Amino acid sequence: MGRENQEPQQQQRPLSRRVLIVGNYCHDVLIKDDVVIAESLGGAASFISVVLDGLSIPSAYVAKVGSDFAYPVSHDPIVSPSSKTTLFHAHFSSEPTESRRQDRVLKRVRSCDPILPSDLPGSRFDFGLAVGVGGEILPETLDRMLDLCTVVFVDVQALIRVFDSVDGTVKMIGLKESGFFHLLPRIGFLKASAEEAPFVDVDEARKLCCVVVTNGKDGCTVHWKDAEYQIAPFSAVQIDPTGAGDSFLGGLVAGLVQGLAVPDAALLGNFCGSLTVGHIGLPKFDPKLLQRVKDEVCRRKMQCSCCLEGLDDRLKFVKPLGHDQFHSALGETKLAFSCSTQECQRDLVNSTAAEQDIHYQFNGQQKVLLNPVFEEPIQSNSSMP
């Protein structure tokens, strides 16, 4: 069902808090100007696992795939005998038009089976993440997660996405019409992109749970009850926006697991998202960079532990002293490790020859295109929304 990362024996502090991630793995095909430039492992769970595994956060995963699943993963999925792996085509254009302002047009070509309440483990978890991308999380599944997990984070795309019956184009409906709205008072954190936020009614939702809206290069905004906090971004050279919001959510949860205040944890989320947009498809982070990040988070936790201990939830949402210094420390860490890598990747993408070679250059490894995956005609699944 999903293997847990085991915490090193020498760690005795409360990092034993476990995280449950629920959402299917996918096959992603990236298409620029009608030319396939890359295929990769997709799904929010895959991007989140890169962050949580890299930051040594104990976690368990529930994800479904078909027998055609093409990638090795650190957390074993459930293999469905009755359907193939969810497949998305992400269409990019080098010359956006007035009618096509989005970074990408996303189409669900095929959908795997939904995740059922019975697929979830029976044990309890401190944190749960509902991160479906293809309609695989059902209201009853989220309801079960809310029973199993002390705090549940929900990416609103898991709730409000619908799919065109003809070509699978991803669209959105209002949260109130989604069949999930009644569960909102039990959700701890709801994450939405700036494009998704109008479908949520942030002013109403923030009265029931914390709403975090990601704003790309402008960072994010934390909305909680009658307050809101702007969380600063990190500079980035964007090559592929896919997975940035997932990586943000992984960083946010990683920070909270390790005892950071919400604004500091959101900074860590912004940091992880800024790293991801510098990669095509699933990112591969420098282990030395991640170690430096872990060191900075540990220092920040030590700095704030006395201040946060015993505070009520309201004060844990306020920016603590030293927040700006934490931002600077993370920014300096990124600058030290990632600038040269980003410049190389930018040069690669901007060159015509590199686009021809990008089929074979993916995160430093040989990339073989799954031609049968791309060539398969678009299908719809009437059992999915």
Question: Exposed, middle or buried, 64 (CB in 10 Å: 0-12/13-18/19+)?
Answer: buried
With the CA atoms of 60, 63, 67 and 73 taken in that order, what torsion angle do they form, in degrees rounded to the nearest 10? -40
Q: Among residues 239, 275, 235, which one has the least CA distance to residue 254?
A: 275
- Give the strand pairing for 220-224 and 210-214: antiparallel
Residue 314's contacts (CB-CB under 8 Å, 6 or more residues apart) are: 225
User: Of all residues in the chain, what percent are helix, strand and coil, respectively (each to 5)?
Assistant: 35, 20, 40
Residue 128, SS3 per DSSP: strand
Write down the residue that tokens 């920014």 correspond to.
331
Distance, in Å, from the CA atom of 193 to the CA atom of 199, rounded to the nearest integer, reads: 10
Per annotation, catalytic residue among 103, 246, 264, 324: 246
Write down the residue that tokens 């095909």 correspond to.
29
CB 151 within 8 A of CB 253: no
Residue 140's contacts (CB-CB under 8 Å, 6 or more residues apart) are: 116, 117
Distance, in Å, from the CA atom of 39 to the CA atom of 351, rounded to the nearest integer, reads: 19
Q: Which residues of 336-367 are buried (b: 16+ CB within 10 A; e: fewer)?
A: ebbeebbeebeebbeeeeebeebeeebeeeeb
119 is catalytic: no
Question: What's the token pair of residue 112?
Answer: 């795997």
Phi then psi for residue 213, to 5 deg, are -110, 120
- The residues carrying an active-site annotation are 246
